Structures are given as C-alpha cells and as structure tokens.
Amino acid sequence: MASVTLKQIGKSYGVVTAVEQFDLDIADGEFLVLLGPSGCGKSTTLRMIAGLESITTGDLMIGGTRVNDTDPKNRGVAMVFQNYALYPHKSVFDNMAMALKLQKMPKAEIARRVNDVADMLGLTAYLERKPAALSGGQRQRVAIGRAIVRTPEVFLFDEPLSNLDAQLRVKMRMELQELHERLGVTSIYVTHDQVEAMTLADRIVILDRGRVAQIGTPREVYEQPATRFVASFIGSPAMNFMPAERAGDGWQVTGTDLVLPGFGQLATEADALTLGLRPEHIEVLPADAAVNDPWAFDATVKLAELLGADALLNLSVKGQPLLARVGGTDFPQAGETVRIRVDPARLHAFDPETELTVARAAQH
C-alpha cells in the first residue's frame, strides 16, 4: 500500500490542455474519487497515474518514489477498465493469472492466489469459462479480480460500473465498498455519477473542463461547494439558481418581485449575485403558516411529480420558478397556493463573473 502524490501534474495534447496543473495528496488507504462531466479530464488523469499516458508537466510520486518515467507494470498499480478489457481468448483463470505468470511466480502460488480471489468474488464456478460466456456483472468481477490478485499498492478504476444496469450497479458499488474496507488499498476511482462518488469516496476531486474545481469530502462538496459548477453538479435534482441584484439591505431576484432579506456578511461589494438554493432545502408549509417570517413567501404549485418516497414541486414564487423537493406522499397539488420557507444558512451565493462562491462571515 502506498500514498500517491501529484505535484503540479498536467497534460496537454499539443495546444489542447486536457488537464490543467494541480496538486493532490492521496493518503495511504484512501478512497479518492475523480468526478466530473464527460471530457473534463478524469480518464486522462487516471491514465497518467497508470502510466498509459505520458505526463506533460509535474511529478507523480507513488509511495514516495517519483514514477513519471516508470513502466506501468513497475508502478505497483492495477487498473479496472470501463469496458472490462478482458482477454477474450483466455479463460477466467488465465485472465486473472496473467500478471502473476509474467512475474514468473511459481504455478502453485499462482493457482492458490487466483483461487483465493475467485472465492472472494464468487467466481470459482466460472474459472474455466471464456469471458464471452459470462454476464456483464461477472465480467466486471473478473476484471476486479484480475486487479486484486496482483496485490497492488494502488487500485485505479475508470468508470467500472457504467456498463452495468442500475440494480447491478448498486450491488457492485456496495461490493466495492466492502472490498475496500477489507483490503484497505489506496484507490482512485473515476466516475461521472455523483451518487457513486458520494457513497464511495473519502474525498472527491471535482474536475471542470480540465481544471480542478474543488477537492473535499462528500459532505464538504455538498454543503460548501467552491464554485457554481460544483454546486450544480453535486445534488439531485440540481440546485436552483437565481440571478439577483442588491436592493437596499436585501436582494431582489432579477426580473421578479421576489425580494430576499439581507443575509450574513457577504464578502462582496458587487451589486449582483447568483443565489443558489437546493430543492431539498425549501420547506413547504400550508398557505397560512409563518405569516410574519421574513424568510417565508407565498408560492403557487405549477406541477407536482411523485418520485416515490418523495415528490418534486415546480413552484412559482412571485414570478421566480423554483424546484422543491418534499417528503411523503401527502403533498400539495398543481394549482394550490402554499407558503415556502427558506433557511438563509442554506442559501448559497456565487459571483456572477467568476462563478466562485462568495464567502460570508459565520452567523449561526
């Protein structure tokens, strides 16, 4: 097991910058997730760590040793690919044994290790089969097994679950979690699925167009997003955004009659802001509730959708559309008038120019 350190690592293809330089320290045994939309540079970053892609700038350290120019096989890393990348003409056993055979490990030892891992992953019955004769979930397990038998210092995963159906994905996610707890091997995991990221990660690196937008624990990136991009990417359904202008002490939502009272001490002199409010942080009350609360507003329900355990309400608050998420099955229907209440502590503010979060003094 080993720590992984990225010092000013960056990648460009000619004039195209795929990943802008950044620093990252991954602790021994940590589960780190690289999260971001398609094309943001997740795979490129992972492949630089794997040694499949050359590193344009910076130093990559694994276990304290600089490995920029080390062959992939000597970096002590094992990788699980999105489309499994099994050897189609070899049996499951041979797929898993390949790396050990190449290390010239004694046959008996190889067999023992492969059988142990197959046992752990429930693959014992399939060892003689070719990958074509396995289901998607089984193939993915073989791919994971192939990585485990090598007892690497670092596991690399590139969207390993994205080819599986939703149910299987949840199951495999939990298995990966258990596996990580059991083996404790440093893991770097690429995904564009925020649920996978939130559930698996010790820390998440969020990438936005080749740039690191934020590095933090799942709780930090959810509660204190560093940029508007992070705020919109984390959380489902996405955060409501409202452009607003300074109106006296408060803020008027642009193009509407909605005026919010002043909140906290914002570290900005600007006269414009983008306000952000998560759907799950809008409290929906009966029409006559919280009459004197400055943070409560009248709203009309435009559309109500039942998701199952909870429901989504499309609201109009003085001309401003807002999406709210309410629990239970007893929710207001389209056309009804309600009161909504906003917790100012849950309100986010972003600079409309830089899209960075506007800091504010603690006020709780």
Partner 1 sequence: MQKRPRYGLYAIVSLSVLISFFPIVWLILTSFKNTAGIYAWPPQYWPDPFTLDNYISIFTNSPELLRYILNSFIVGAGCTAITLMLGGLAAYALSRLRLRFAGMLMVGILAVSMFPPVSLLPSLFQNFLNLGLLNTYTGLILAHAGLFLPFSVWMLASYFATLPVEIEEAARMDGMGFVRIFLTIVLPLSWPGFVATGLIVFIFSWNEFPLSLVLMTQNAMRTAPVGISLYPGEYAFPWETISTATVLAIIPVLIITAIFQKQIVGGLTAGAGK
Ligand X SMILES: Nc1ncnc2c1ncn2[C@@H]1O[C@H](COP(=O)(O)OP(=O)(O)OP(=O)(O)O)[C@@H](O)[C@H]1O
Shortest Cβ 60–ligand X spacing (Å): 16
Choice between 43 and 240, CB closer to ligand X? 43
Contacts with ligand X in 152-211 (CB under 6 A)?
192
Among 10, 35, 43, 185, binds ligand X (CB under 6 A): 43
| Residue 102 binding: pick among partner 1, ligand X, Mg ion, none (C-beta 5-8 Å cut-off by kind) | partner 1
Residue 139 in contact with partner 1, rule: CB under 8 A: yes
Contact indicator for 96, 117 with CB cutoff of 8 Å: yes
Shortest Cβ 53–ligand X spacing (Å): 8
Choice between 84 and 126, CB closer to ligand X? 84
Choice between 43 and 227, CB closer to partner 1? 43
Residue 77 in contact with partner 1, rule: CB under 8 A: yes
HSE-CB of 74 using CA atoms within 13 angstroms:
7
Shortest Cβ 136–partner 1 spacing (Å): 6
Closest-CB residue for Mg ion?
Answer: 43
Shortest Cβ 201–Mg ion spacing (Å): 17
**What is the full DSSP assignment across 69-91?**
TS-GGGTTEEEE-TT----TTS-
Cα(131)–Cα(133) distance, integer angstroms: 5
Cα(182)–Cα(62) distance, integer angstroms: 21
Residue 53 DSSP code: S
- CA 63 from centroid of its chain's CA atoms: 25
Shortest Cβ 193–ligand X spacing (Å): 10
Choice between 156 and 198, CB closer to partner 1? 156
Site track for ligand X across 100-139, x = CB under 6 A:
----------------------------------------
Residue 353 DSSP code: T
Task: Work out whether the CA dihedral 286, 291, 294, 297 comes out positive or negative.
Answer: positive
**What is the full DSSP assignment across 301-338?**
EEEEEE-SSEEEEEEEETTEEEEEEEESS--PPTT-EE
Residue 320 in contact with ligand X, rule: CB under 6 A: no
Cα(153)–Cα(81) distance, integer angstroms: 17
- The pairing of strands 77-80 and 154-158 is parallel
Shortest Cβ 102–ligand X spacing (Å): 27
Shortest Cβ 85–ligand X spacing (Å): 14
Among 65, 103, 236, 329, binds partner 1 (CB under 8 A): 103
**How big is the site for partner 1, counted in residues (CB under 8 A)?**
30
Contacts of 135 (CB under 8 A, 6+ apart): none
Among 16, 108, 132, 166, binds partner 1 (CB under 8 A): 132
Write b or e for each residue in 231-269: b if 16 or more Cβ atoms lie within 10 A of its Cβ, otherwise e: bbbbbeeebbebbbebeeeebbbbebebbbeebbebeee
Among 22, 84, 229, 263, binds partner 1 (CB under 8 A): 84
Contact indicator for 168, 209 with CB cutoff of 8 Å: no
Site track for partner 1 across 32-71, x = CB under 8 A:
------------------xxx-------------------
Choice between 13 and 87, CB closer to ligand X? 13
Among 37, 39, 122, 136, binds partner 1 (CB under 8 A): 136
Choice between 98 and 259, CB closer to partner 1? 98
Report how far apart the first and last C-alpha atoms of the chain are (Å, whole number): 42
Contact indicator for 349, 276 with CB cutoff of 8 Å: yes
Residue 169 in contact with partner 1, rule: CB under 8 A: no
Q: Which residues bind ligand X (CB under 6 A)?
A: 13, 16, 18, 36, 38-44, 192
